[in-house]
Amino acid sequence: MKILFVSSLYSTPSMPARSPGNARIVRAMRRYADCRVISPVPWYPRLMSEPMDALRPLLSAPASEPDGDGSMTLHPRTYHIPGVARRLNATLYAASIFKSVRDEVRRWRPDVVLAAFAYPDGTAMVALGAILGVQVVVRAMGNDINEAARHRGRRWQIAWALRRASAVIAVSSHLARRIRRLGVPRRNITIIPTGVDTGRFFPRDRAEARRQLRLPNRPVLLVPTAHLSAEKGIELILHALRAIKERVPIHAVLLGDGDRRQALVAHVRRLGLRERVRFDGFQPEARMPLYYSAVDLVCLASSREGWPDVLMESFACGCPVVVSGVGGMPEIVDLTGGGLVVPPGEVAPLADAIAQAFHRTWDRPAIARAMDAYPLENTARRYVALCAAAARRPRVFRHERNGLSALT
């Protein structure tokens, strides 16, 4: 079984922050199938992007590089137009990676393409699959449906692609319902929640983890993000911390990087939380179990989410959570009961839940044991089985009339 995995969200040695979760899934899938990866990188003019720290890894990314297991990951450049012309991104994406995908299809002959993220990746690959005669499975992850599909120009493209994909993977029941609203038949949607690598994420000794991370001897809350983006609700968490700082002497650790970091540092100072909030930046996967094991609570107050891996990782390490009731987060909490769910966008309920969580006695070993039922290996097996079923379908005709031209 040969699977060509295509996604611009894929962690590599040169770009470790670009979805470690996708890279973990591919590594797990390689136990059951032969997988190759094309991970396109958006192109930016060098003079305009060099001053922006977040874009430097994209500028320096090689055309190909070894993955963690030695296989090569290809990085074709994709053209895109920010802002109002985002409805053209799938067309530009497809045109930019056409040669790389065509060459892999001709030389390697994959049985199926698995595209992670519905727009632009999955939308472009469904069009290219029609042209190249290969079945395409699309994995919807969250913002591709929750955000991109809200815009009319992109919504109809996403709907067109998902209705024509060989199969669609939704990471949560919430996301599956939103995909159904795009006119995708229920029979074509498979809900596969993402499991957790319990061989990597398991409880460590709390005292030793705190010592290694130099955490203070007080209640500690962790906000584990890869990017300090607006939808993660970090300002909301900061206001909640200020509201309860007299009730609970909480120390907060924020993970992740991005252009908003300095603005958040200034916001912390304005709220009088400078001595209570620490920015630790982006952390590699190997260090994350230390954080989950050391802290008392993980908090995500996002305004939109798919199925955040950090919550599964937190549970696997025995750490309880407080989350906003969006996307698949309530479903994750239901797996263990090891957390509290609050309405999104409201400071007072979030503050009360954080204070309540710190005063509650949580059975951390039981929370960790519950994750044994949701290993990443099961996720990988289900992905490969779904791809195998898609590959058995009759091949689409080359140069189908509704191919690349359908995106323009």
Q: Give the tokens for residue 280.
A: 């630790």
Buried b (16+ CB within 10 A) or exposed e, 277-306: bbbeeebebeebbbbbbbbbbbbbbbbbbb
Q: Are residues 12 and 151 in the same domain?
A: yes
Is residue 190 domain-resident?
A: yes
- CA distances for 350 relative to 69, 241, 353, 362, angstroms: 42, 9, 5, 18
Is residue 175 domain-resident?
A: yes
Q: What is the CATH number of the domain that holds 8?
A: 3.40.50.2000
Q: Are residues 6 and 136 in the same domain?
A: yes
Q: Are residues 271 and 226 in the same domain?
A: yes
Q: Are residues 254 and 122 in the same domain?
A: no
Which residues 6+ apart lie within 8 Å of 222 measured at CB?
A: 252, 253, 255, 291, 292, 295, 297, 298, 299, 314, 319
Whether 307 contacts 327, CB under 8 Å: yes
Q: Are residues 91 and 172 in the same domain?
A: yes
Q: Are residues 189 and 248 in the same domain?
A: no
Q: Are residues 403 and 361 in the same domain?
A: no
**pLDDT of res. 397:** 47
Buried b (16+ CB within 10 A) or exposed e, 85-123: ebbbbbbbbbbbbbebbeebbeeeebbbbbbbbbbbbbb
**pLDDT of res. 399:** 46
The identity of residue 321, as a single letter, is V
Q: Are residues 30 and 170 in the same domain?
A: yes
* Structural domain boundaries, residue 256: 206-372
CA dihedral 389→392→393→399, nearest 10 degrees, is 120
Which bin fits 133, alpha (ψ -120 to 50), beta or left (φ > 0)?
left
Q: Are residues 10 and 148 in the same domain?
A: yes
Domain tally, the chain: 2
In whole angstroms, give the CA distance from residue 140 to residue 117: 5
Q: At what angle do helices 20-29 and 376-391 cross, to 10 degrees?
A: 70
* Strand arrangement, sheet containing 339-342: 277-281, 251-255, 220-223, 297-300, 321-324, 339-342
User: Which of the 8 DSSP states describes residue 86?
Assistant: G
Low-confidence ranges of the chain (pLDDT < 50): 51, 397-402
Handedness of CA 343, 344, 346, 352 (dihedral sign): positive
In whole angstroms, give the CA distance from residue 316 to residue 318: 5
Residue whose tokens read 């029609």: 130
Q: How far apart are the first and last CA of the chain?
A: 33
Task: Note the maximum CA span of the chain.
Answer: 67
CA-based nearest residue to 90, from 161, 30, 165, 150: 161
Q: Are residues 92 and 217 in the same domain?
A: no
Q: Are residues 362 and 228 in the same domain?
A: yes
Q: Give the tokens for residue 82.
A: 């920010």
Using one digit for the tens of pLDDT, what is the confidence trace for 386-405?
A: 999 999 987 654 444 445 55
Cut 0.75: pTM above it: yes
Q: Are residues 255 and 145 in the same domain?
A: no
